[in-house]
Amino acid sequence: MSSSAQDLSAQLDIGKTFGALFIGVTIAAVLFGLSNVQAFIYFQTHSRDTGMTFYKLAVIWLWILDALHMALIVHCIYYYLVINYTNFDALTGLVWSFKLSVAIEVFLIYSVHLLYAYRIWIISKGKSRPLPITVGIIVILNSGVAIVLVWALYQCHVFSDLIKFEWAIYLALGAITFADIVIASALCYLLATSRTGFSSTDSLITKLMVYSINTGCLTSVCSMAVIITCAVMPTNFIFLAIDFLLVKVYVNSFFALLNARHYGQANTDTNNSYSSYNHHRVYRPELHIQPSEDEEPRASRRDVFKHPDDEAVDPFRSVKVCASSCVPEDLMTRFSQSNRSQ
């Protein structure tokens, strides 16, 4: 056993290092299942769309990247905790699946930001263009920061080398957080200026604004949590465990925004059905005319013994009325006189 491995075995806290990674992978698997459900809901609600639309391709693309990231982090934790659980030399090094998972994570987050920028461009049609152009420039500049992070990661060969490149982690996550705030603010501004005055449309716009704010805050909080834990506890892997969840949060937040209309429509239908049920249960007293003293007992007796079939209308009544109204009066007179003569 080498000297570095002996130092690691003496100082290694399994619970805060690989134990944290195991918990992170477990929670990431749960979030991956949630993203599968959201992708299924999206395709079910858009099954009537003919052909393959842009957003369908985007959902498929993000799902493939998310599944690939999930497979890589599972291989990473399997490599450390199953294959090499007693090999301290292997525990010090960075496995290839860990490096590739970070590269996939950076590429997936960049893809989500591009999709948000495209959505902002579509919403801003007929309005001011500087806002979506500014968002697009920020997203493109973030790609340069992401390339720097991937380059710095592939310069590391053991976990202790990550401390030397903390600046790259802070730079990348800070840029991601800034882009999230800009995108959420731009979406809220464009949606707020798109109000039409109709209650149903304005209600949907308000729900979309809430989704945008919540997703932007959630991803920003997750990125800031990685930065804080990396700065406070650089010797354990808690910040890496939270970083495993960052990709899943991004994918689920984007899928939730795509399904926001479906969720809002489902809530509206539920509320309408509930209000309709209560509407039918409301007691509405009918207008009753007070009968005279001698008519009230007879009316009550008729109501008691009345059969439901008595409510049926005489089928010949309309014919009689039509005959009396349509036949000329002199013809009716002659017909009556002939009857009397007979």
CB-based burial label for 196 (10 Å; 0-12, 13-18, 19+): exposed
Predicted pLDDT of residue 64:
96
Res 214 pLDDT > 70: yes
DSSP secondary structure letter of residue 233: -
Res 141 pLDDT > 80: yes
Distance CA 321, CA 187 (A): 69
Asked if residues 2 and 86 have their Cβ atoms less than 8 Å apart, the reply is no
Residue 65, φ and ψ in degrees, nearest 5: -65, -40
Res 338 pLDDT > 80: no
**Comparing 71-75, 250-254, 280-284, 323-327, which segment has the lowest mean pLDDT?**
323-327
Q: Write down the pTM of the prediction.
A: 0.72
Q: What average pLDDT is seen over the chain?
A: 78
Per-residue model confidence as pLDDT tens digits over 37-57? 999 999 998 877 777 889 999
Asked if residues 111 and 139 have their Cβ atoms less than 8 Å apart, the reply is no
Predicted pLDDT of residue 11:
59
Predicted pLDDT of residue 263:
64
Top mean-pLDDT range of 262-276, 300-314, 323-337? 262-276
Per-residue model confidence as pLDDT tens digits over 100-139? 999 999 999 999 999 999 989 988 887 778 889 999 999 9
